[in-house]
Amino acid sequence: MTHSAASAPAAGSAPATYVWADWSLDDLLAAKAASGLRVSLVVPARNEAATVGDVVTRVREALVETVALLDEIVVIDSDSTDATYEVATDAGAVVHRSAEVRPELGSHPGKGEAMWKSLFVTTGDVLVFMDADLVDWDTHFVPGLLGPLLTRPEVGLVKGFYERPGTGEGPEGLGALDGGRVTELVARPVIALEHPALAGLVQPLAGEWAIRRELFASLSVPTGYAVELAALIDTCRLRGAGAIAQVDLGRRAHRHQALLDLGAMAVQILAAVERRRGGVETLAGAGSSTTGGDAAESGRRGEESVRLRQYRPDGGRISPVERDVPIIERPPAKDLL
């Protein structure tokens, strides 16, 4: 994989933008040795038996066995009902079931929960996150994301971005750099309205990103799909946009969710944005209970779920389908480590 998705945005625009090939593996190995930092790859995975083995195997061969850029590969099995645990273990990852990590803290469904739980079972000073459902990707994603973190101390969080093959071919003339449906219809509009400092991010919802442990452990973490946007908003507020960098990783393709499931993702993202109105301090106690829940006691901001009603045709009638979308946030892990 040698091409890059795009040339960098205009000079002076934040965040700082790089291309994965800006650093050679030798550069990064030297920077890692000089810094003494340990690096963990964390792969949250729910029912990804079809793809998680390939993700773990290729990264292990390239970045643990061929060179020692990664100190560990940890898969957090997020309540899978398929063979994700066994496949990831056979591929050479250290695998933890999310619900079994610090069980006294309780367990919630969701990707953000798996990532928050990873803080209790990993040793890296830097955590690199990668989705388990990738089908068009390459191992250079990991060194690409590490480049800014290993070479620029002021950078705390690095987002990946990429071309998405097979998208962006509509009459609107969009390019392959359009995001997914939630990115374009929820995340970017919210960023434009409320968080314009993040508008320079090409793929704000990318699942491939990296963060310093101490920063991630200081953040409130939504248990579901809002983990990415929440981390960006909170990092920007706590440390400024200069603490965020992005790296062009080339191409990426993944499995797509059904539109109605993406509606639930959108609810989670909008709930996390709402909680951040007024500042990070509004997060204190926001739905962060570990079991059960007492929405009445904590009011709107303490709600643990939102009832989402969608509609399906049903034999000539319209059938409403309701789901309760969890909007829980975990408190900063630093207080629990």
Ligand X SMILES: O=c1ccn([C@@H]2O[C@H](COP(=O)(O)OP(=O)(O)O[C@H]3O[C@H](CO)[C@@H](O)[C@H](O)[C@H]3O)[C@@H](O)[C@H]2O)c(=O)[nH]1
Ligand Y SMILES: O=C(O)[C@H](O)COP(=O)(O)O
Give the interface with ligand Y as residue ranges (CB under 6 A): 179-183, 205, 256-257, 262
179 binds, among ligand Y, ligand X, none (CB under 5 to 8 A by kind): ligand Y
| 251 vs 32: CA distance, rounded Å | 26
- Please identify, using beta-carbon distances, which residue of 88 and 245 lies nearer to ligand X: 88
Which residues 299-328 are close enough to bind ligand X by CB under 6 A? none
Least distance from ligand Y to the Cβ atom of residue 310, Å: 16
Hey, what are 227's tokens?
A: 């983990």
Q: Is 234 in the site for ligand X (CB under 6 A)?
A: no
- Please identify, using beta-carbon distances, which residue of 152 and 181 lies nearer to ligand X: 181
- Please identify, using beta-carbon distances, which residue of 265 and 286 lies nearer to ligand X: 265
Q: Is 109 in the site for ligand X (CB under 6 A)?
A: yes
Out of 257, 282, 290, 305, the only residue in the binding site for ligand X (CB under 6 A) is 257
181 binds, among ligand Y, ligand X, none (CB under 5 to 8 A by kind): ligand Y
Least distance from ligand Y to the Cβ atom of residue 179, Å: 5
Q: Which amino acid, 332?
A: P
Give the orientation angle of helix 227-239 with respect to helix 259-275, to 10 degrees.
20
Least distance from ligand Y to the Cβ atom of residue 254, Å: 7
Give me the residue label for tokens 């191409």. 251
Q: Specify whether the CB–CB gap between 337 and 120 falls below 8 A.
A: yes
| 316 vs 307: CA distance, rounded Å | 25
Which residues 263-302 are close enough to bind ligand X by CB under 6 A? 265
- Please identify, using beta-carbon distances, which residue of 187 and 244 lies nearer to ligand Y: 187
Cis peptide bond prior to 15, omega within 30° of 0:
yes
Least distance from ligand Y to the Cβ atom of residue 187, Å: 7
Q: Which amino acid, 44?
A: P
**What Cα–Cα distance (Å) separates residue 264 from each residue in 55, 129, 257, 261, 307?**
26, 22, 11, 5, 10
CA nearest neighbour of 129 among 119, 26, 19, 120: 119
